Chain A
Amino acid sequence: MRVNFTVNGRQQEADDVWEGESLLYVLRERMGLPGSKNACEQGECGSCTVRLDGVPVCSCLVAAGQAEGREVVTVEGLADFAKQRAEHGGCASGACGSEQGTSLQDAKQWQAKGTDSQTGEGGELSPVQQAFIDAGAVQCGFCTPGLLVAADELLERNESPSDADIREALSGNLCRCTGYEKILDAVRLAAARQGEAV
């Protein structure tokens, strides 16, 4: 079958999709977007978390066909998504009332610029991405994309979350390396920086 949907602001078309394929498989293997991760493929770990019409979902549990006509944001589009949101008054997803798709029409697919996280050069990271690097919340990094999408969504709806709020929002995302302390630090840091910027 053919699936048409929007990924990171771009209209995409996937051909010859077998009906049993997940959205995760189509993103990773057919769209060239392997950023969403395949840690469990059973909806337990959150590493494949994407926004589907603004709602965070495990893309491994979404049949590709269910994405037909809908908007997907993956970690690859997160920086631009956050930028659009900042420029358009706090909502880039279309899920919070603005007209669907319009705010994303200009969104360009993410491009890597610079690889030295120390300098912050490249400047294309979203606040939550930068905070994960700065706080030491990334070790192996396999949980990171899903956590970033989930944390970004938390900060979109709650500008100054308590620790209990952060824990609740990220409880569907497993991390095996960090013990979560530095992930909490990163979300607190992103929230604080967001607060300063306003």
Chain B
Amino acid sequence: MAGTKTTTGAPTDVTQKHNKGGIGESTLRPDGTLKVTGEFAYSSDMWHEDMLWGQTLRSTVAHAEIVSIDTAEALAMDGVYAVLTYDDLPAEMKNYGLEIQDTPVLAHGKVRHHGEPVALVAADHPETARRAAAKIKIEYKELPVITDEASALAPDAVLVHEGRDDEYIKWVSHPNIVHNQPIIRGDAEEAAKKADFVVKGEYTFGMQDQAFLGPESGLAVPSEDGGVDLYVATQWLHSDLEQIAPVLGLPEEKVRMTLSGVGGAFGGREDISMQIHACLLALRTGKPVKIVYNRFESFFGHVHRHPAKLYYEHGATKDGKLTHMKCKIVLDGGAYASASPAVVGNASSLSAGPYVIDNVDIEAVALYTNNPPCGAMRGFGAVQACFAYEAQMDKLADKVGMDRVEFRQLNAMEQGTLLPTGQPVDSPAPVAEILRRVKARPLPPERQWEIADGDADVRELPGGLSNTTHGEGVVRGVGYAVGIKNVGFSEGFDDYSTAKVRMEVINGEAVATVHTAMAEVGQGGITVHAQIARTELGVQQVTIHPADTQVGSAGSTSASRQTYVTGGAVKNSCELVREKVLEIGRRKYGSYHPAWATAELLLEGGKVVTDGGEALADLAELLEDETVEIEAEWRHRPTVAFDKRTGQGNGHVQYSFAAHRAVVEVDTELGLVKVIELATAQDVGKALNPLSVVGQIQGGTTQGLGVAVMEEIVVDPKTAKVRNPSFTDYLIPTILDTPTIPVDVLELADPNAPYGLRGMGEAPTLSSTPAVLAAIRNATGLELNKTPVRPEHLTGT
């Protein structure tokens, strides 16, 4: 191994090289066969001889003191091997957390939200473990619940966390605020005087669940050295490791993590779920322990998207130019911080949307409450803001008397526009163009449900096979929206990734192996890694090594960052391997051909070739039995923290833009909505794998559709208890709810990014929701300031 080398992300060329199966081709997933045959091993498929099943006992109330816990009866049950509570935690560190270590591994003296883990059981059958958990007696003394801004910030409010000493506390006005971020640029107050039209709005965004299908699960196997091997589905192995090892009282090298098959993530696996619990039980019992949440528990097992209240004011001149924007965004972070501080940073810095607004007065805050903890979900703070500012744009366009799309285009951001943070957008920003494209698309034909004999195919109508209408009371609406999402971790975070690339000769053929800790969660990162290696190294066969902690961190599979950052790391390591290979070539063959010294040399089709295409050497012959392997870290260009008072600073790395046009049909009598089409256009910089890119865009669009018309975790405002923790009551779109999603992909290279690519996984989730809302408003004439829209909002019942 050539040791670890660190480089920063210098501008790179964006030319595509021509190796078969390289970047730009829709190569198929390397795990595809395993996934269609049932052989792919997801984290819930793990099995070990002699293994036990772990079960978590969770609080039945949202906020209470724990008076007593009695585990005797559970421990006495046949088949039960261990029952653990806070008192059994082995190390001094008993909390974990992504940004603030405020989350107890097991509740200590107090529970702060419904479903908080209180005790653990290990037993020889999952049902035995469940029954034992039910035998644990917990006496609670209930406390008042904090459920919203008013109850959180009341002068005499109960504090969700007492004695805070985290880095954010000194900047907040109340201990029940996790973090706040003001952003001031220009003079909104003064600019408002120049506005001919002002619109104000108050918007509510419901709590969305990631609803990944593969439940939280994994297997912990104790090892002879006193450590533990953990197989788990996560988004970031090394971040988990940093949180797990201290509470186990083990050095990190004794906690060996391997990524198991991940059944979707969408932000919901950024936080620890069962990882520590399984390890604790395994270390206590000396046996392998598997934990698999069922769907009910999964709703309590991970953080959700922050519900939000958003207060906006926009102004415009009579010729349609935006004068100013003021907003306050209140995010409900729930009982523990999770990623709330970063979500606040995103929500505030992207609150103006992809528009030129020189005068802004912004504040975003996240609250501590006794509601379920909220954190990362696809779109991460930018989703809630987009829902609100796009509603504002429609209202303002109407006031000015302009077409809603033209109004957006008139005010659209371009390359060079300053964000509210003062940071220039220094790569293409085709906001007006993507709007033009979705608008130019022909509309789907009217009354598609009509079939021969004047009859109706009810499957094409709102209500579907419930056969609630044959077209009576059905009206159509069309709506548009556009959004901006940042790519990568912002605000000065050291957002690096590591890739180990090896080249060697096997069976007479030069082949490559790529080893990273990147969590493949379904997005297709491993497909892209193989494509990059083929492009850079001119090989056909690329082996993707399983992701584990035996290689350096790859950062998180979130923030649309993995193709950019770990893709960039793979590219960089490949380039370093190529240099080594060429060095070997020069040593061996340099005297045979002058091009070894003078030409730019590439690796193509298993050969070293000149940039003119002349082959100089066969890679297999060049390498013989030599192996070239390099592990190196790679960084994108650095960012800085936002100023705590003004919000100014170059905090972001890159941006991603998407626009949607939604066409809906609404049964106004029953309040049922059918989305007919959800067309989208997005700039992806460079589509490394076009098939996967389109798949990401369609998937993200559908999650946006879900929160527009059906998805919401309902929390009882009196008790802070979750009312709908099941797929029976928390609805996600089925294939019947999801329309045709035509996708228009633009490729305007970002000169700062590898191959010119843009992180693209999140942007489609932003504008999808407001486009659907706009279409429903267009169909019904209703104001609809809350998402999801429910039938009663449409019928007024």
Chain A positions within 8 Å of B, measured between CB atoms, are: 18, 20-21, 28-29, 32-42, 44-45, 47, 74-76, 78-79, 110, 112, 114-118, 122, 124-125, 129-130, 132-134, 136, 138-145, 148, 164, 166-168, 170-184
What is the bound-complex CA distance between A118 and B689, given in angstroms?
14
Name the A residues within 8 Å of B33 (CB-CB). 112, 114-117, 122, 125, 133
Enumerate chain B residues within 8 angstroms of A140, measured Cβ to Cβ.
Answer: 212-214, 262-265, 521-522
User: In the complex, given contacts A40-B727, A167-B735, what are 9 additional A-B residue pairs having Cβ atoms less than 8 angstroms apart?
Assistant: A18-B127, A41-B294, A112-B37, A148-B36, A164-B460, A168-B736, A176-B212, A182-B698, A183-B735
Contact of A179 among B21, B45, B699 (CB under 8 A): B699
Which residues in B have their C-beta under 8 angstroms from that of A37?
Answer: 42, 44, 213-214, 263
Q: Is the CB of A184 within 8 A of B735?
A: yes
**Contact between chains at B465 and A141 (CB < 8 Å):** no
Answer whether residue B26 sits at the interface, using C-beta atoms and an 8 A cutoff: yes
Task: Work out how many contacts link A and B, with CB atoms closer than 8 A.
Answer: 208
Q: Is the CB of A136 within 8 A of B692?
A: yes
A118: B residues at CB distance < 8 A: 21, 27-28, 30
Flag if A181 contacts B740 (CB, 8 Å). Answer: yes
Contact partner, B37, options A110, A174, A184, Cβ 8 Å: A110
- Which residue of A is nearest B736, CB measured? A171
- What separation, in Å, do the CA atoms of A172 and B30 have in the docked complex? 28
Contacts of A74 in B (CB 8 A): 38
Pick the contact of B39: A112, A139, A170 (CB < 8 A). A112
User: Closest Cβ of chain A: how far from B607's Cβ, in Å?
Assistant: 22
CA distance A76 to B45 in the complex (A): 14
Minimum C-beta distance from B22 to chain A (A):
13
Cβ B37 vs Cβ A35 within 8 A: yes
Interface residues of B in 184-211 (CB under 8 A from A): 210-211
List the interface of chain B (C-beta within 8 A of A).
21, 26-42, 44-45, 47, 125, 127, 210-215, 261-266, 292, 294-296, 457, 459-460, 465, 521-524, 691-692, 694-695, 698-703, 726-728, 732-736, 738, 740-741
CB-nearest residue of chain B relative to A122? B33
Contact indicator B702/A133 (Cβ below 8 Å): no
Inter-chain CA distance A34–B741, complex, in Å, is 33
Residue of B nearest to A126 (CB): B36
Assembled-state Cα–Cα distance A185/B380 (Å) = 30
The distance in angstroms between the C-alpha atoms of A122 and B39, with both chains bound, is 14
Cβ A144 vs Cβ B36 within 8 A: yes
10 contacts between A and B (CB under 8 A): A37-B42, A40-B727, A42-B727, A116-B33, A133-B29, A134-B28, A138-B32, A139-B699, A172-B734, A179-B741
For the complex, would chain A's binding face be called helix, strand, loop or mixed by DSSP majority? loop
User: Which of B459, B698, B735 has most chain A Cβ within 10 Å?
Assistant: B735
Known A-B contacts A79-B37, A110-B37, A133-B33; the reply to A142 vs B213 at CB < 8 A is: yes
Contact B701 A117 (CB under 8 A): no
Contact A39 B694 (CB under 8 A): no
In the complex, the answer to whether A142 meets B29 with C-beta atoms within 8 Å is no
Report whether B215 and A39 are in contact in the complex, using a CB–CB cutoff of 8 Å.
yes
Contacting pair A164 B457 (CB below 8 A): yes
CB–CB B215/A176 < 8 A: no
- Taken together as a complex, chains A and B put the C-alpha atoms of A136 and B457 apart, in Å, by 29
Residues of B within 8 A of A138 (CB): 29, 32, 35-36
Q: Which residues of A contact B523 (CB under 8 A)?
A: 139
CB–CB A170/B735 < 8 A:
yes
- Closest chain A CB from B306 CB (angstroms): 19
Beta-carbon contact of A42 and B35 below 8 Å? no
When C-beta atoms are compared, the residue in chain B nearest to A170 turns out to be B735
CA distance A117 to B27 in the complex (A): 9
State A70–B436 Cα separation when bound (angstroms).
58
C-alpha gap A142/B292 in the complex (Å)? 15
| Residues of chain B with a CB closer than 8 A to A21's CB | 127
Most buried by B among A78, A136, A143, A168: A136
Name the distance in Å between B661's Cβ and chain A's nearest Cβ: 16
Query: Are the CB atoms of B213 and A178 closer together than 8 Å?
Result: no
The interface residues of chain A lying within 8 Å CB-to-CB of B740 are: 181
**In the complex, the 9 A-B pairs of residues with the closest C-beta atoms, listed nearest first:** A35-B38, A140-B522, A142-B263, A141-B35, A117-B32, A179-B698, A179-B702, A44-B727, A34-B45
- Closest Cβ of chain A to B205, distance in Å, is 20
Given A20-B127, A114-B33, A134-B28, A34 contacting B726 (CB threshold 8 A): no
Please indicate the chain B residues that have their CB under 8 angstroms from the CB of A142 in the complex: 42, 212-214, 263-264
Q: Which residue of B lies closest to A145 (CB)?
A: B38
Closest to A148 in B: B36
Contact yes or no, B213 A45, CB < 8 A: yes
Residues of chain A contacted by B265 (CB below 8 angstroms):
140
State in angstroms the CA–CA spacing of A3 and B411 once bound together: 68
- Distance in angstroms between the alpha carbons of A27 and B616 in the assembled complex: 56
Contacts of B702 in A (CB 8 A): 178-180
Identity of the chain B residue whose Cβ is nearest the Cβ of A114 in the assembled complex:
B33
In the complex, residue of chain B having the shortest beta-carbon distance to the beta carbon of A110: B37
Partner of A173, one of B36, B524, B703, B735: B735
Residue among A36, A38, A118 with the highest chain B CB neighbour number at 10 A: A38
| Bound Cα distance A47, B726 (Å) | 15
A141 and B735 form a contact (CB under 8 A):
no
Q: Which residues of A contact B296 (CB under 8 A)?
A: 42
CA distance A175 to B214 in the complex (A): 11
In Å, the complex CA distance between A171 and B700 comes to 19
**Chain B residues, CB < 8 A from A167:** 459, 735-736
Contact of A112 among B21, B34, B701 (CB under 8 A): B34
Is the CB–CB distance between A34 and B38 below 8 Å?
yes
Partner of A176, one of B41, B264, B294: B264
Q: Is the beta-carbon distance between A136 and B694 smaller than 8 angstroms?
A: yes
**C-alpha gap A122/B294 in the complex (Å):** 34
The residue among B32, B521, B695, B698 with the most chain A CB atoms within 10 A of its own CB is B32
